Amino acid sequence: MDIDKLFKVPKMPAGSNKRRMPDNPTPEMLKRMRMDTEDSSVTTPSSTHDDAPSKHNPRAAYVRDEEDEEAEAAEGAFAPGGDADYFAEEDEEGRFFGGGLTKEQKDILNIFDKAGGEEAREDLEELSLPGIRRLLLRFERAANKNQDQRSKYPDDPTKFIDSEADLDAAIKGLLPLAQTPLLSYPEFVKTGGVARLVGLLTHENADIAIDIVEVVHELTDEEVGNEIEEGEEGEGTREEALKMLVEALMENNIFELLVNNLSRLNEAEETDRSGVFHILGIFENLLGFNADFAPLLVSKTPIMKWILNRIQSKAHVENKGYAAELLSILLQNNRANRLELGNQDGVDAILKVLSQYRRRDPVDADETEFMENVFDSLCSALAEPEIKKLFLDSEGVDLMVLMMKEKMQSRSRSIKVLDYAMSRQAGTATCEVFVEALGLKTLFATFMGKTSKKSKAVVPASEDVSHTLGIVSSLFSNLPSDSSARIRLLTKFVENNYEKAEKLLEIRDSAQGRLKTIDKDIDTERKEILAQGEEIDSEEEDMWYLRRLDGGLFTLQTVDYILAWIVMEDDGIRAHVQQMLSRRNKTLKDIANTLQIYHDNVDENDDVSGQDGAPSRKEILRNLIAFLEGC
Position with higher pLDDT, 535 vs 347 = 347
pLDDT score, position 18: 61
pLDDT tens profile 331-386: 999 999 999 999 999 999 999 999 999 999 999 999 999 999 999 999 999 999 99
Q: Which of 102-116, 399-413, 610-624 has the highest mean pLDDT?
A: 399-413
Within a domain: residue 544? yes
- Asked if residue 127 lies in contact with residue 133, where contact means CB atoms within 8 angstroms, the answer is no
Within a domain: residue 377? no
CB atoms within 10 A of CB 24: 11
pLDDT at 91 over 70: no
pLDDT score, position 103: 61
Task: Work out the average pLDDT over 50-56.
Answer: 42
pLDDT tens profile 442-488: 999 989 876 444 433 333 347 888 999 999 999 999 999 889 999 99
Task: Work out the average pLDDT over 556-585.
Answer: 96
State the residue range of the domain holding 565: 480-630
Q: Which of 52-56, 63-67, 588-592 has the highest mean pLDDT?
A: 588-592
pLDDT score, position 511: 94
Within a domain: residue 348? no
Confidence of residue 109 (pLDDT cuts 50, 70, 90): low
Task: Work out the average pLDDT over 605-624.
Answer: 74
CA dihedral angle for residue 262, residue 386, residue 296, residue 181, rounded to 10 degrees: -80
pLDDT at 542 over 60: yes
Within a domain: residue 66? no
The string of DSSP codes covering 125-194 is: HS--HHHHHHHHHHHHHHHHHHHHHHHH-TT-HHHHHHHHHHHHHHHHTTGGGGG-HHHHHHHHHHTTHH
**408 to each of 165, 314, 355, 366, 415, how far by Cα in Å?**
52, 20, 12, 17, 12
Nearest Cα neighbor of 557 from 599, 518, 523, 585 is: 599
Confidence of residue 407 (pLDDT cuts 50, 70, 90): confident
Within a domain: residue 293? no
pLDDT tens profile 195-223: 999 999 999 999 999 999 999 999 999 88
Task: Work out the average pLDDT over 611-629.
Answer: 86
> Lowest-pLDDT range, 88-102, 536-550, 562-576?
88-102
Position with higher pLDDT, 95 vs 82 = 82
Question: For residues 400 and 419, what is the distance between their CA atoms, to the nearest angstrom?
Answer: 11
pLDDT at 606 over 50: yes
Position with higher pLDDT, 113 vs 507 = 507
pLDDT score, position 603: 77
Contacts of 21 (CB under 8 A, 6+ apart): 274, 277, 318
The string of DSSP codes covering 238-266 is: HHHHHHHHHHHHHHTTHHHHHHHHHTT--
pLDDT at 14 over 60: no
Within a domain: residue 323? no
pLDDT score, position 41: 45
> Lowest-pLDDT range, 42-56, 67-81, 112-126?
42-56
pLDDT tens profile 381-399: 999 999 999 999 999 999 9
pLDDT at 78 over 50: no
pLDDT score, position 158: 82
Q: How many domains does the chain have?
A: 1
Within a domain: residue 246? no
pLDDT at 101 over 90: no
Q: What is the mean pLDDT of the chain?
A: 82
Within a domain: residue 561? yes
Task: Work out the average pLDDT over 600-627.
Answer: 78
Whole-structure pTM over 0.85, yes or no? no
pLDDT at 319 over 80: yes
